[in-house]
Every structure is written in C-alpha cells, then in structure tokens.
Amino acid sequence: MLVSVGKLKSPRKVISAGGGGGSGQFLKSQGLTGAQGFTLNTLVVSKDMSSTTVQRPPPSGFNPKSPSGSLQPSGARFFWADWGDDFFDDWGEFYIFNPADQTASYIQFSTINGADETFFSETQTHHSKTFKIVHGWAAQGIFKLDVACTSDDTFQFALGHYGNMGSDGGTNNSDLTHTASWGTLRYNQNNQIGVREFFYTHVIPKKKSDNDSIVVDTTGLFTAVFPNDKLAIYTGAFTHGFTCYYIKGANNSTGSMANWVANDIALSSSYHD
C-alpha cells in the first residue's frame, strides 16, 4: 500500500574512485548522480516501465520460497518492456518476500520513467511493515532501487525479480564480482549470445556483515535462467534492506559500471535517510 511520494534532489558531488569515506556497519547509497568523473559505458534507455494486474508467478525453484513452490506476489507487477534494443520482453517484477509466512508483495512505483539524475521517494507498507523505497535514473543507463524497512530493523525479508529476457534460449548468464573499498560488490551479467544486450544487476545488502556473508547461488544471492531466457534474481532473507542498480551496458566488461556503483556506496552508521 502506497502512503506517500516525494521527489528528491540528487547530489552531484564527485568523490574518489574507491568509494565514499566514513565508517559503520551499513552499506549506504550516497545518492550520487551523473558520471561522477567516470566514463559512462552505458547505452541510452527507452524508459518504458509499466504495470499490469495480469499475474506471472515466478516458478518453483526460481524464487525464495522454502520448501520450493510457485510464488504469487500480491498487487500489480511493474516491469520494463524493452529498454530499446530489445533488452527485455518484460523484466523486473520487483517483490518483497516474507520468509515467516512465505508470501510476497510487489513493490509499487507511483512515478515511473522519470528524467535522468532524479530520484523519487515513496513510503509503502509490505507485510505490515513500513518501507522507504527510493528509485530513479541516477545517470544514463543506470537505474537505482533502494529498499529499506524503516519500522523494524529486525524484520527479515528477501528481495526478488523475475521476467523474460527475450533471448530465446541463446543466453549468457554470469555472476561476477568487483573489489570495492568497503568489500565485495556482486553483480549479474545477462546477454543474448552474439548480440549487444549487456544487462547488469548489482545487489548490495544494507548490512555490511550480510554482504560479506554472500556466496552467490549458495547463500544470500541467487540468479538463474528458466527455462531458456526467463531471468530470476533474488536474495536470501536479511534485515534492514538492499540497494540495487540495473544497468544497460555498452559492452561486456566496463559496461557493468561496477566502479560507479562501488563509488556510490559508502560505509555508514545508518542505513537510510
């Protein structure tokens, strides 16, 4: 349930390539926008997020449900249709999963397809908890989603995604890492074989010890293609929240913008503003 919506002015401060300073137990986005002194190895996005109440449940084994089973989140599902250049056939479907009762609800976006370098803040209720959702295009080809449970810092939840990549079986799917000053940045690269469609998803738990504990596809973060070109990305159950970045990369290496993402995250004594 949506409670309030607000537009945020984003800082343009340029900091060192190693990431923000400070200390603390949390990994927090600084809300940076623009190139920040880096080369933007990204492509222009056709901003085409939309929603539907027609359901498409993530199948058994491709969501955080335990024991395994199909998962039907409540609410309208939001997704990107294509991004231009045929990157997707509807992907996103962002949801919050409660392991205590094995239910999920879709994140809602009141403002979609906003301008680059603009974030929107929304207060929503999921699983009887209050969440702060910050989202928007930080720069060309870089979308940020920041999810924080603000009413209960002991509540454990997972964040999930699902949808069709449209690559018709010819799919490369890789889990990669980048060494940042604050720890390991883990991200997924997905593209159609032989086609310049390099899609990157970065997922960072807000609690540093949670991020440090992740072993991809074993504990904490899971990515899988089903059956040929439907991409599922979901986390384990953690407290506090997650910061995610979705990138339309221009190539299969620096197109990940891992250096930009690492630079936006800083150690902090708080996990949300």
Closest CA to 256 of 15, 20, 38: 38
- pLDDT surpasses 50 at 3: no
Q: Which whole-number Å values give the CA distances from 185 to 103, 203, 244, in the listed order?
A: 28, 8, 11
Question: What's residue 18's pLDDT?
Answer: 38
Does residue 62 form part of some domain?
no
CB-based contact 164:88 (threshold 8 Å): yes
Q: How many CA atoms within 13 Å lie on the side-chain side of 170?
A: 7
Angle at 32 between CA 77 and CA 157, to 5 degrees: 40
Strand partners, 205: 242
Does residue 63 form part of some domain?
no
Which pLDDT tens digit goes with each residue over 210-221?
999 999 999 999
Does residue 237 form part of some domain?
yes
Does residue 261 form part of some domain?
yes
Does residue 181 form part of some domain?
yes
User: How many other CB atoms are there within 10 angstroms of residue 13's CB atom?
Assistant: 12
Q: How many CA atoms within 13 Å lie on the side-chain side of 177?
A: 10
pLDDT category, 70, cuts 50, 70, 90? very high
- CA 28 to mean position of chain CA atoms: 14
Please identify which residue in the block is written with the tokens 């094995």: 102
Phi and psi at residue 155, to the nearest 5°: -75, 125
Contacts of 256 (CB under 8 A, 6+ apart): 176, 178, 187, 189, 198, 200, 202, 247, 249
Does residue 104 form part of some domain?
yes
Stretch 25-50: mean pLDDT: 98
- What is the b/e burial string over 183-192, where b = at least 16 CB atoms within 10 angstroms of the residue's CB? bebbbbbbbb
211 in helix, strand or coil? helix
Query: Sheet harboring 2-8: ordered strands across?
Result: 2-8, 118-126, 129-139, 142-149, 241-249, 198-205, 183-192, 171-180
Does residue 164 form part of some domain?
yes
Does residue 66 form part of some domain?
no
- pLDDT surpasses 60 at 15: no
Q: Which whole-number Å values give the CA distances from 209 to 46, 84, 96, in the listed order?
A: 36, 37, 21
Range of the domain at 43: 2-57+73-268
What's the total number of domains in the chain? 1
262: domain CATH number is: 2.70.98
Question: What's residue 169's pLDDT?
Answer: 61
Contacts of 138 (CB under 8 A, 6+ apart): 10, 32, 33, 34, 116, 117, 119, 144, 245, 264
Which pLDDT tens digit goes with each residue over 134-175?
999 999 999 999 999 999 999 999 999 999 998 776 788 999
Question: What's residue 119's pLDDT?
Answer: 98
Contacts of 153 (CB under 8 A, 6+ apart): 239, 240, 271
Q: How many CA atoms within 13 Å lie on the side-chain side of 268?
A: 17
pLDDT category, 133, cuts 50, 70, 90? very high
Which pLDDT tens digit goes with each residue over 226-237?
887 899 999 999
Which pLDDT tens digit goes with each residue over 80-93?
999 998 889 999 99
- pLDDT surpasses 60 at 253: yes
